[in-house]
Structure formats: structure tokens, C-alpha cells
Structure 1
Amino acid sequence: MQGGGTGGILVASHLVGERMREICDAAEAGDLDRARALDDDLQPLYEDLSVTSNPIPVKTALAMLGLCSERMRLPMVPASDEQRQTIRAALDRHGLTAVA
């Protein structure tokens, strides 16, 4: 948005929608320092969700929260057990399991 865009494909917004809204609101208001700070706070979550190709980690996380089925359509395949452990740990670490 700093470069003139009006939005984006915000994969993590499925998990942290309110925080993403804060980033967009700050950017639209011209408060780029706040937008950057909020985005910086989410960088560890973005990294944790990079355990495999999207949308696999986000859909797996949403399924763990009881919000959707974990079933995938080819060519996507379910997360491996190791990836699921990483995703579960990320949800716990970022305080997202409290919503489930």
C-alpha cells in the first residue's frame, strides 16, 4: 500500500483479520510507521505459515480451529504430520488457539 496499492492478497488475514485491518487502516491514514510496526509484529506468524505452499498451512490452521474441513483438492495435499506440528505450535505461540 505504501507503493500506491489499495489492498492485497493477505493469506494470514484468515487467522488475524483484525490485525490485518489495523495495518490497512494505518496505511490508508498515512501512518506508515504504525503499519510497518504492526506488520513487523506479524512476521513470525508469516514465517511459521511458510512451512509449505499456501493455502495448505492456512487451511490446516483453520481446520485445527474448527472453522473448516482440512480436505484439499488436488494438486494440494494435506499437511504432513511434521508440518501439522509446526502449524499447531504457531497457533499456540501466537495466541490463536484461544479462539477455538
Structure 2
Amino acid sequence: MAYPGSQLYEDAIKQGIRLPEKWHGYGQYAEETLPMPTKYLSAVDILCFRDNAFREYFSNPRYIEMVRQKFGPRVIVHIEEMLKHEIHRKFAREQTLEV
């Protein structure tokens, strides 16, 4: 993320890269999160990849078992509850939006 005040932000502005219009657009789990695109991936591609990786990582049976052994079953309940909530993304729904 190119946060306001950072050099990355200034560079993105100069390059004409679309950035979040409001502060909540910088929140990692916010509906209006808008990461910077790369040379090869759009912001939407990055957002979808990041959300899928999050879900895959935290639902991986090896991870779950490691957490169960280190922290006990109460933490597993917390992880399962966390995974019940889908992360809603404005820009992922608007695939036709040029970002």
C-alpha cells in the first residue's frame, strides 16, 4: 500500500496510479481496499489473490494442527469463527472497473 506521506505514495501519484480516495481504503480488510497494481497484475488481481491466500493459509489442516498443539482448541474455535466471515470487496465485485 502506498500510504499518504510515503515516497511510494508520491511515486504513485506521479505515475497516475489510482489510490484509495478515503482513509478506510487503506485498511487491509476494508470493503474499499485498493492495493497498488504491479507491472503484471491489476489491483483487483492482487486483492483476490491476497484474500484467497488468507483463507487457504488459515484453513490449512497443517496450520490448524500446529495451532491446536501450541495454543489449544480454544484458538481453533476463534480461527473457525474468523473464517465464517467473508471479506467483502467493492473493487473485486466491479471487475470492469479500471484500477
TM-score, normalised via structure 1 length: 0.30
Q: Which has the higher contact order (CA 8 A, sep 6+)?
A: 2
Specify the structure having the higher radius of gyration (Cα). Answer: 2
